[in-house]
Structure 1
Amino acid sequence: MRPFSPRTLPLLLSFAAVAFAAQSPLLMQEQAAFPSFPPTPASNTLPSLADVLTTTRKLSIWYDYARDVEKVTERLSSSIQQTTLLVPLNSAILSLPRKPHESVPTTPSLPDSLSILQQDALTANNVNRFISAHVVPETIDLSSSSSELTFSTLLADHKLTFTPGDDGKWTVGNGLNVVEVLEASNGKVLILDGVVEFA
């Protein structure tokens, strides 16, 4: 192959520049046909109620009871149902004279001795009532209201009234304080300094 002479090299470079200029509109059209998009930001989704309870150790006792109530555990992980949980601190449950699964010892309608199956059924019913009294089947937004609010719980014929205070804090039911609110993708957790009373 004959080497380029010093006189032909500028001509070749000139031809190359003209060819590139002729192709550049085509390149621009191709780039326009395939535009670049900025990267999609990572979604900032909230954890579910189940995840919130799993990672909040100060609420672990209530959560241990709740996992024995099927209708409640289904709501904790649901992506459809919205739920508000009123969860007492561990210290509040530990201070109870009678634990949530225990029956009133002086109940006259109970026989002196129960079979194991009867004891299990009674315990399950006690836990179900205790947990249901602390679950509202909808989201409660206390920040959007300054007046008294009343909601039904999962326990039949049991309602809870929320009352705002002058300091912006809320009390519920039998004078319990809402000490903290945790957000979840399927509802909220209202942390209480006591246990909801129910008949």
Structure 2
Amino acid sequence: MDPLGPGPAIPPSGSSPAEPPAGTGGGVVLSDVMGRDRSINLFAGFVRDTESASQRLENSAENTTVLAPLNSAVEKLPRKPWEDPRDYDTLGSNAYEGDDGQERAQRNLRRFVEAHLVPVSPWKEGQKVKPIAGDREVWWEEKDGTKLIQPGAIEVVSVAGDVANGQVWIIKGVRNYASAN
């Protein structure tokens, strides 16, 4: 095993004084559970490719509710999450080529991912919160036994992970991320 690597596969017993107290999921954090459900592996990959999101989901001190769209919802988008029609309007069909294009694509992907990260957990019904990216508040409500993310009435399929720093909610749609900053 590489002495500079991530450490042993089996966690040591006890906790170091620097670790915050464990929540409902023990020492497991959101980054540990994001890739477990294949139905959201596209979004989980986007999270891994977005440094700010990865760091947040690894941080046991920052609670987050992840609104993870189903693969089918991502696949139905009219464009890739890293594409922005405004970039094409301004720069043409080569908007994502070269170093500048890669930076633009990464910024757009970050906006998409962060529009699906709510910086609270537990998240109470009706509690209006601004996601990490964007200035439009989101909330959830239950109707006929179904959780719906508002605005947009996006159905929550299930809660795929409940861990020390938050929850992963699998959703049937994609939040409107075009207006996120």
TM-score range, shorter chain: 0.7 to 0.9
Equivalent in 122, 134, 145 of residue 140 of structure 1: 122
Equivalent in 115, 126, 130 of residue 152 of structure 1: 130
Match of 1:169 in 2: 146
Equivalent in 27, 39, 50 of residue 69 of structure 1: 50
Match of 1:185 in 2: 164
Name the TM-score, length of structure 2 as normaliser.
0.75
Higher helix content, 1 or 2: 1
Runs of 4+ in 1 over 2 A off after TM superposition: 43-47, 105-115
Q: How does 1:78-97 map to 2 (within 5 A)?
A: 78-97=59-78
Q: Determine what percentage of the aligned residue pairs are the same residue.
A: 29
Equivalent in 172, 176, 179 of residue 197 of structure 1: 176
Higher relative contact order (CA 8 A, sep 6+): 2
Q: Distance in 2 between matches of 1:156 and 1:94?
A: 22
Q: Distance in 1 between matches of 2:69 and 2:166?
A: 17
| CA RMSD between the two structures | 2.2
Is the CA contact (8 Å cut-off) linking 2:65 and 2:123 kept in structure 1? no
Q: Distance in 1 between matches of 2:136 and 2:168?
A: 19
Residue 51, structure 1, aligned to residue 32, structure 2: yes
SS in 2 for 1:128: helix
Do the aligned partners of residues 106 and 154 (structure 1) sit closer, same or farther apart at CA in structure 2, a change above 3 Å counting? closer
Q: Distance in 1 between matches of 2:134 and 2:79?
A: 22
Q: Distance in 1 between matches of 2:87 and 2:123?
A: 40
Q: Which runs of 5+ in 2 are unaligned?
A: 1-21
Greater mean alpha carbon deviation, residues 46-55 or residues 97-106? 97-106
Q: Deviations over 1:20-63 (max 9, x none)?
A: xxxxxxxxxxxxxxxxxxxxxxx972631111112222111001
Count of residue pairs brought into register by the alignment: 152
Q: Distance in 2 between matches of 1:77 and 1:196?
A: 23
> What code does the residue aligned with 2:30 have?
L
Q: Which runs of 5+ in 1 are unaligned?
A: 1-42
